[in-house]
Structure formats: structure tokens, C-alpha cells
Chain A
Amino acid sequence: MSKMTGAIYEIHQIDEIAQRKNWINDIHPLIKLIVTIGYILCVVSFHKYDLTGLIIMAVYPASLFILGDLSFLGSIRKLRIVLPLVCAVGIWNPFFDKQPMMLLGAFTITGGMISMVTLMLKGILSVLASYLFIATTTIEKICYALKLLHVPTILVTQILLTYRYISILLSEANRIMTAYLLRAPGQKGIHFKVWGSLAGQLLLGSMDRASRVYESMSLRGYNGTFYFRGKKAIGKNDIFYLLIWILIIGVLRMEVLL
């Protein structure tokens, strides 16, 4: 499978996971969004040397992986590009903060080392929480939750269409790549001399395709506003889910403060 086909497949796979019939998928998107944002804010609020507290906070993603029947390794594979970037954020800390914190045999662990690990952990936990939200909520429901939060309609529509457009752009790029490689045997990648014309083709092709999709939308009454399925009221289960997580996250955070 080419990289492009793989990328399209992964987008479809996340869509499919988000559409599964599972009780976590059925929780109201606004509640899941609030819990996710609350969790991320809580995680980033930990002190830079508070490694233990952060490790305990992994209980949230761990529970969702189990309850949502999601593959942890599969998720790590999907996040393989983002995670190294997140981890790279604190990489210079050991060079700036050399204050000794503890001894591990003959090895001195400095504040910079601990803050590097905490920063990495904060990044990983936040990315995992966001992934879990996306993996259990369809893009339509995410946009619906944003609408409930009074995010401007134009911005919500932009998010939804951008998400849809990624697949169109990738399929267009895949078509061009396949056509090129079939007539360029033995070449690894695309020769730089044709980068310009291929990029131009990609742009024109995807613009053309996007305009036809837009025509199809306007022929079915689209006037700039998306209407979403699942306009359901927040139920008892949703409230229960929210309260449970407020309680758990709150207790874990307090435990650390105390």
C-alpha cells in the first residue's frame, strides 16, 4: 500500500471507529468535549517536577481505551508523527536546569531531566485525550458540540469541510502519483523537475473536484449551514459520565495538591 493510500485508509478507519455502536460513542459530544478540555487543562496545570501526579492522570486515557474497546498500539501507530514532535518540546530542559533533585546510585537526576519527562508526559496525555475524543466522536458530532458552544457557524463549517476535503485532496494526489509512477519505472519518488507541474495538476484537479462536490451540495439545498444528526438532549447517562469524571479527575488532582 502506498503512503497516500495508507493515509486515506487511516482517515477512513478513524471515521469508522467513531461511528461504532458503543456507549462511549453515544455519550453527548458536548459532554465529551468538556471532559476532554477539562482533563487537558488539568494535566497541563501540574508542576514541572510533579511526575508522580502526571503518571496517575494516565488513568483517564487508560480507562477510555478499555471502556471504548480501542487498541492502544493502533492509536500510537496513528499518532506516530505527532508524538515525537510533542516529545521533542522539552528536550533542551536538561541543559538549562541542572539543579540536582535525587540520586539514583551514582547517577544524579537533575530538575531538567524530570521537567523534560513531565513535559513529554503532558504532551502525550493531552494528545491521547484528544485522540480518544476524536476516535469516539464523529466529525459531525464534534462540529455539533462546537455549535452548542456558540463557536461561529462559518468556523464550524470550515472545520467540517476541511476534514472532508483532506480525503478529496489525498485521493487526487494518489491518482496523480499512481499515474506518474506507472510511467516512471525504477524511480524512487517523483523527480524534482516535474514537482511544479504535478503540484499544479493537484491544485487544479482538487479545485475542480471540490467545485463539483459543492455543486452537488448546493443542488441539495446547502446554503452555508450544516445541519447535524444527533441533535439530542443531554441525558442522565451524559450527566453521570460528566460527574464521574469530574469526581475522578478532581480527586486525583486534589490528592496531588494535598
Chain B
Amino acid sequence: MSHIHIDVEEVSFSYELGQEVLKNISFHASENESIGLIGANGAGKSSLLKLLVGLGTNYTGSIRVEEMPVKKDMLPKIREKIGYVFQDSDNQLFMSNVYDDIAFAPRNYGFSEEETERRVENAINMVKIQHLKDKQIYKLSGGEKKMVSIATILGMLPDIILMDEPSIALDPKNRRNLIHILNGFSHLKIIASHDLDMILETCTRTILLSDGKIVQDGSTKEILTDKELLEANGLELPYCMQSIIN
């Protein structure tokens, strides 16, 4: 088994007593996989992603990232391995300019200013935002903020990338750019999204959640072309499939 993997076994989680948002979730994700996490609103996609990085540790069952249990004392090591892109980029970007925001993680992990600069340059080149390097965060457009958010996690050189609704609020050009960038990453990726067309283009495997449970886990093409399955779980066929299958 490759050293980059996530194991989730029989995980249940609730914010309030008696109201489980995740029920008996189990799956294994391994190196280089690109997994789409889909489901209607309130299905538990964001909650599941948050548990994987330890934003909530009072779950039952077992979550292991690269054989490390997701428990409080292991969080610094686990978070060094995982890059998490928030749904709302405004929550992710809090420094005054792009450079400092990307450099935030390497500095926290104790890297020298030279190594930090190398990582920042590398992250900036990967998402092709060289022109934004010294720009103030508040001057960025929604699409630029999303790209900078992705660069902030790349600065950590993570093994695993988790994304919560990465294409939300992006115009078609920026969305296309995001898809190209995601397809260029060889990391283990888990992408939660309602944008099924994007999932179709970026993920080979899909996990369908409904009411906190895994309904289906399999090939993206099979799941996203199963009209009945999708509609039974509050979704519909990806736009590009609608004229072919209907």
C-alpha cells in the first residue's frame, strides 16, 4: 500500500446530540486518486471533508491519514500533509497580500525565508498567477481569490488536497482554468461539489452521499450517467449528459 492514503472506517458524526450528519461512513482513498464527493444540500459533504482535517474530532469510528489517526495530538502532522481549500475564499485569505498569504504556512512550519520564497514561487507558478504575487488580497476578483487559495495550500507541498465547492462563483473561463489546474495535479484529491460537469472532467471516482450515508462509491462515469440514481438523491445528470441520455 502506498504511504499516501486515507482510511475512513464506520465514521459517524453529529454536531448536536441525536442528529447525526454522517452515518457509518467507510471508504479508502489512495495515492493519485481523484475523488468527487457529491450529494444534495445537507448530505454531509463539507462535514466529511472537515473531519478529514480534524475540524471536529468528536466522531465515532476511525479516520487515518497516512496511518496517523485524526486525533487532537496528531493534528499538526496531519495538517502538514493535507491542503484544504475552503468554499469561501474570503475565509481562507487573511493576510494583506498574496505573497504573505502563500508564505503563511511555510513560515509556520519553520522553513527559512529562502525556502519559503522558493515554495511561494513554486505555488504561484503551478497555478499561473505570477502577475498577482504582490497584489493586495482585497483587490482580487473572485476567480483570482480561488486561484490564490489553491496556491496557499500548494505552498505546504501537501500529499493530499481537499476542496469544498472549488468552482462555486467562478465564471466559465476561470472554471475552465480551475479544471485544467486540477487535472495537472498528481496529488490525492477529494473534491466536494455540486458542479457535476466539473466532477466528470476532474475525478475518476465518485462517492455519492445522501442523508449522511454513502449511497454509491464507484466510477464517476457510471454514477454520473445513472439518471435514476442521481434523481433519487436530489441531483440531476450533469449538463453535458442531459441531451445525450434524456
- Do A and B pair up? The answer is yes
Contact with B along A205-234 (1 / 0, CB 8 A): 000010011011111111100010101000
A229, closest chain B residue (CB): B100
How far apart sit A2 and B226, CA to CA, in the bound complex (Å)?
50
> B127 to nearest A CB, angstroms?
16
Q: Does B27 contact A (CB under 8 A)?
A: no
> B residues 94-137 with Cβ under 8 Å of A?
94-97, 99-100, 103-105, 107-109, 113, 134, 136
A19 is an interface residue with CB less than 8 A from chain B: yes
Known: A215-B55, A221-B108. Is A231-B92 also a contact (CB below 8 A)?
Answer: no
Taking the closest CB of chain B, its distance from the CB of A140, in whole angstroms, is 7
Chain B residues contacting A43 (CB-CB under 8 Å) are none
Contact indicator A221/B94 (Cβ below 8 Å): no
- Residues of the A chain whose Cβ atoms lie less than 8 Å from the Cβ of B79: 218-221
Q: Which residue of A lies closest to B92 (CB)?
A: A216
* Interface contact A219-B84, CB-CB below 8 Å: yes
Interface size class of B (residues with CB under 8 A): 20 to 34
Distance A218 CA – B55 CA, assembled complex (angstroms): 10
Select from chain A the residue with minimum beta-carbon distance to B109. A221
Partner of A213, one of B82, B91, B99, B153: B91
Do B156 and A220 have beta carbons less than 8 Å apart? yes
User: Which of A16, A218, A220 sits near B136, CB closer than 8 Å?
Assistant: A16
Bound-state Cα–Cα, A246 to B53, Å: 53
Contact A212 B91 (CB under 8 A): yes
Is A216 within 8 A of B91, CB to CB? yes
Q: Is the CB of B136 within 8 A of A12?
A: yes
Does A26 have its Cβ within 8 Å of any Cβ on chain B? no
* A229 and B113 contact, Cβ closer than 8 Å, known pairs A138-B96, A220-B104: yes
**Whole-angstrom distance between the Cβ of B46 and the nearest chain A Cβ:** 12
Q: Is B185 an interface residue (CB 8 A)?
A: no
Q: Does B86 contact A (CB under 8 A)?
A: yes
Query: A222 with B108: in contact, given A19-B136, A212-B86, A231-B113 (CB under 8 Å)?
Result: yes
For residue B152, which residues in chain A have a CB less than 8 angstroms away from its CB?
220
Asked if B7 lies at the interface with its beta carbon under 8 angstroms from chain A, I say no
B94 with A216: CB separation less than 8 A? yes
B94 proximity list for chain A (CB < 8 A): 164, 213, 216-217
- Report the bound CA distance from A103 to B113 in whole Å: 64
With a CB–CB cut-off of 8 A, which chain A residues contact B15? Answer: none
- Chain A residues with CB under 8 Å of B84's CB are 219
Q: How many A-B residue pairs have CB under 8 A?
A: 63
Kindly list chain A residues whose C-beta atoms are within 8 Å of the C-beta of B95: 140
Contact: A15 with B96, CB < 8 Å? yes
Q: Which residues of the other chain, B, contact A231 by a CB distance below 8 angstroms?
A: 113
Inter-chain contacts of A229 with B (CB < 8 A) = 99-100, 103, 107, 113
Q: Which residue of A lies closest to B87 (CB)?
A: A212
Counting CB contacts under 8 A, is A113 at the interface? no
Complexed CA–CA distance, A222 and B79 (Å): 10
* Cβ contact within 8 Å between B108 and A223: yes
Closest to A212 in B: B91
Q: Which residues of B contact A220 (CB under 8 A)?
A: 79, 104-105, 108, 152-153, 156
**A227/B108 in contact, CB under 8 A:** yes
Complex: A127 Cα to B103 Cα, angstroms: 33
Question: CB within 8 A of A221: which of B76, B92, B138?
Answer: B76
Q: Which residue of A lies closest to B106 (CB)?
A: A221
Contact B100 A140 (CB under 8 A): yes
Binding site for A on B (CB under 8 A): 53, 55, 76, 79-80, 82, 84, 86, 88, 91-92, 94-97, 99-100, 103-105, 107-109, 113, 134, 136, 138, 152-153, 156
Point out residues on A near B: beta carbons under 8 Å. 12, 15-16, 19, 138-140, 164, 167, 209, 212-213, 215-223, 227, 229, 231
Could you show 22 A-B contacts with beta carbons less than 8 Å apart?
A: A15-B96, A139-B96, A140-B96, A140-B100, A164-B94, A209-B91, A212-B91, A213-B91, A213-B94, A216-B86, A216-B91, A216-B92, A217-B94, A218-B79, A219-B79, A220-B108, A220-B152, A220-B153, A221-B79, A222-B108, A223-B108, A229-B107
